[in-house]
Amino acid sequence: MSLVTFDAARRRWLLSTPRTSYVVGLKDDDTPVCLHWGPRLSADQAAALPEPAAFMGSSFDESGTGEELLTEAGARFGAASLQIRFPGGDTGIEWRYTGHTIDAGHLTLRLRDRVHPAEVTLHYRLRPDTDVIERWTEIAAEAPVTLLRCDSAAWNPPPLPGYRLSHATGGWAAENTLRRAEPPVGETVLTSRRGITSHQANPWLMIDAGEATEEHGEVWSAALAWSGSWRITVARTPGGRLSWTGGFGHEGLTWQGAAWTTPVFAGLYSTGGYGAASRTWHHYVNEHVRPAARETRPVLYNSWEAVGFEVGEESQKRLAALAARAGAEVFVMDDAWFGGRTSDRAGLGDWWPNPERFPGGLTPLIEEVHRLGMRFGLWAEPEMVNPDSDLYRAHPDWVIHQPGRERTELRHQLFLDFSRPEVADWAHKWLHRLVSEHAIDFLKWDCNRTFTQADPGEMWAGHVRAVYSILDRLRADHPHLRVEACSGGGGRTDLGMMARTDQVWTSDNADAADRLSIQHGFTQIYPAGAMAAWVTDSPNPLTGRRTSLAYRFHVAMAGVLGLGGDLLNWSEQELDEAAALVGMYKDIRDVVQHGELRRLRGAVQYTLGDRVVVLAYKGPAAFGAPGVPLRLSGLDPDARYRDEDTGAVHHGVLLTARGLIPPFPHDDYASALIRLRKEQL
């Protein structure tokens, strides 16, 4: 069955994914519109879809709804997806269809403006194994024009009796707070104006009619593959329609040029509630976005929370020995190994080993890490410079700034402008040299501030593209290199970054109880195999909360387990317990990282082949109330499941219909790990 078919008589294209269909058609005036986004349709059924509703006759009707990219031409009053300022000042586009191509699952619709020489190509890419449809837009003008807005796509679910919007908000150390609320009639703007994806909002959304649950109901969702400023505008009309348009940049930015390609804004329709929507995203991200998702991510140790800026060869070696003892497979040296970096006030930009801290360079530490049987990883923040650095003294003009204006320092640092080729080249050269000259297997790419004093032009996108290009070149030249995306925790969690990194540092908040909410929000779209999570000290340095080692481990085991505590202060008993828990993680990690994730009440369940892993959590005890059984999900009702730890055998149907009481210890913030294996009949 073709992924894309064309009905020439009706001028409509039927896009078919395994379980869904999307139908795009042209109105009489050539405006491309969405005729259907929902259950799978046959060609006959798609042909029977009604033409988009015409104006009712009043001058004040709603217009523009259902369009694939909203313009400003004529009687359209919504938030425009596309605004091109042509010579003479007009910004509307009047569509003229000029042709299409279908190349397997890739449909391109070519359109022009009726007046000015500008081509707009709408791209749709489908793949046989996913319901996710990738969409993006390309602009080509004969002469440079000014782009005021150039979204990747507008998405139009069908009219629903009501609407609920799910999205993520947050802040530093509080990323990915899931919000679910009825969107107001009006426009709701989800955005980052910071030059990075941001901690405050994440570029995805889900829409349902207000009735979906984790397991049931229709959900429409979209996620943007971009790591700089972005904007998604959700418009709910008084007449009962809802649509959204989204892409890179934010209001006030303009781009000059003759050719533009937007990032991908991918979307999906799902009928199995939020959970099924998330699993469809996870599968798509693992199969089509992440570069090495089929690999199993190793357990790493990172020294940041243990030593902060007090980095030295001897202390790193001592930590490395303990990390190896606990079962870590990668040892990552974080900030403060370079230049004059002994605090956050100096050194960024001077990327050579600090001669006092590493008199023999990095090699003695790397060799020791390898001798201990681990791979070596290193932190870097390539886009940044401290004013107190040799780099800044030599190139004060390399930073993002506006002549004559103050240069706002955040964390005592300034942002290097990678949209300038000489600056990006410099960064690529030193990174390439560093990785070439040392046995570095893992790079943590950090970014600890946002843009300020940035010109409202091309650099906003150019900088992000240069970051992408450096990462792409590093990966191509060093195929063994694995990369962690980080931006003061999870400030660069998005599909664009995931396309060129292996995992994301989810948050600087490693408090296990807080992490449950951060991880809950993260997994709405992004897979557990990309979600880096560390076990650190108790009481937690950020929140002061005391939790058991097992609880901290069980929370971090829900993603890619790492260790980040000050192991020098851990007792022998704690180190032994940690080693046993790391061993347990190694047993379950394929199921966690590659299995299907189900969010249960107070637990997460992963299923891969015949194995089921459940990580269950209990908050502070309240009134000594007896626990409620935990109902599992998605099991084979006719199968039996053996508990690998107790030997107990459960019927699948009873595990889902009645549930089981997790074996929580009698404690606040208690947790349990349950490993089940489906019995062969």
Report the residue number whose CB is nearest to ligand DGJ: 335
- Which residue, 183 or 489, has its beta carbon nearer to ligand DGJ? 489
Min dist. Cβ of residue 584 to ligand DGJ (A): 25
- Region 269-328 residues binding ligand DGJ, contact defined as CB under 6 A: 304
CA distance 430 to 213: 49
Cβ contact 498:289 at 8 Å: yes
Residue 379 near ligand DGJ by CB under 6 A: yes
- Count residues binding ligand DGJ (CB under 6 A): 11
- Which residue, 334 or 441, has its beta carbon nearer to ligand DGJ? 334
- Region 331-360 residues binding ligand DGJ, contact defined as CB under 6 A: 334-335
- Region 492-521 residues binding ligand DGJ, contact defined as CB under 6 A: 505, 508
Which of 489, 496, 565, 652 touches ligand DGJ (CB under 6 A)? 489
- Verify whether residue 508 is a known catalytic residue: yes
Helix/strand/coil for 315: helix
CA distance 615 to 581: 13
Min dist. Cβ of residue 507 to ligand DGJ (A): 8
- Which residue, 304 or 331, has its beta carbon nearer to ligand DGJ? 304
Residue 488 near ligand DGJ by CB under 6 A: yes
Residue 630 near ligand DGJ by CB under 6 A: no
Stretch that binds ligand DGJ, among 36-44, 316-324, 424-432, 481-489 (CB under 6 A): 481-489
- Which residue, 334 or 502, has its beta carbon nearer to ligand DGJ? 334
Which of 286, 448, 450, 509 touches ligand DGJ (CB under 6 A)? 448
Would you tell me how many other CB atoms lie within 10 Å of the CB of residue 56? 9
* Nearest one of 426, 355, 438, 333 to 385, comparing CA atoms: 426
Instruction: Specify the DSSP element, H or E, that contains 261.
Output: strand 255-261
Residue 534 near ligand DGJ by CB under 6 A: no
- Which residue, 141 or 384, has its beta carbon nearer to ligand DGJ? 384
What are the distances in angstroms from CA 536 to CA 271, 464, 545, 546?
39, 32, 12, 11
Min dist. Cβ of residue 336 to ligand DGJ (A): 8
- Which residue, 313 or 335, has its beta carbon nearer to ligand DGJ? 335
Which of 388, 508, 514, 537 is the catalytic position? 508
Min dist. Cβ of residue 299 to ligand DGJ (A): 17
- Verify whether residue 643 is a known catalytic residue: no
Tokens of residue 565, six digits: 């505590």
Binding pattern for the stretch 70-89 against ligand DGJ, x by CB under 6 A and - elsewhere:
--------------------
Cβ contact 36:49 at 8 Å: yes
Q: Which long-range contacts (CB under 8 A, 24 or more apart) does 425-434 make?
A: 427/382, 427/383, 427/470, 428/469, 428/470, 428/473, 428/474, 430/351, 430/382, 431/351, 431/380, 431/382, 431/470, 431/474, 432/473, 432/474, 432/477, 432/478, 434/351, 434/378, 434/380
Would you tell me how many other CB atoms lie within 10 Å of the CB of residue 529? 25
Q: Which long-range contacts (CB under 8 A, 24 or more apart) does 643-649 make?
A: 643/674, 643/675, 643/676, 644/675, 644/676, 644/677, 645/674, 645/675, 649/679
Which of 79, 307, 424, 486 touches ligand DGJ (CB under 6 A)? 486
Q: Which residues are within 8 A (CB) of 381 and not within 5 positions of it... i.e. 6 or more apart?
A: 335, 348, 445, 446, 447, 448
Binding pattern for the stretch 105-124 against ligand DGJ, x by CB under 6 A and - elsewhere:
--------------------
**549: DSSP letter:** H
Residue 446 near ligand DGJ by CB under 6 A: yes
Catalog residues that contact ligand DGJ under the rule CB under 6 A. Answer: 304, 334-335, 379, 446, 448, 486, 488-489, 505, 508
Residues recognised as catalytic: 446, 508
